[in-house]
Amino acid sequence: MENNLTRAEISEKVIRLFVDIIGFIDRSQVTEQTDFIHDFKIIDEDLTCFVMQIKWQFKLQATQDDWDHITTIQQVVDLIVQCRRRGN
């Protein structure tokens, strides 16, 4: 089922995961342009938990190099879409 999601559905799921994991951010404050590091200063355990949930929820086989420069929700969604295109 997860493989059949549209980009918009992936985006919404990523945003929901972010809001649920971080806990103190309202959904209305988050868009694809949200930079979780600069906008909300999310850098430690919360960010690690978010990345781990993304990997698990989307069965994502991205490398550390893939994650190194990701700071926005849009970049996370792009990574998921890109990994699906290449089959992982």
DSSP H or E stretch at residue 49 = helix 45-57
pLDDT class of 79 with cuts at 50, 70, 90 = very high
pLDDT class of 17 with cuts at 50, 70, 90 = very high
pLDDT at 20: 95
pLDDT tens-place string over residues 22-43: 988 999 999 999 998 899 988 7
pLDDT at 2: 56
Burial category of 38 from C-beta neighbours within 10 Å (exposed 0-12, middle 13-18, buried 19 and up): exposed
pLDDT class of 3 with cuts at 50, 70, 90 = low
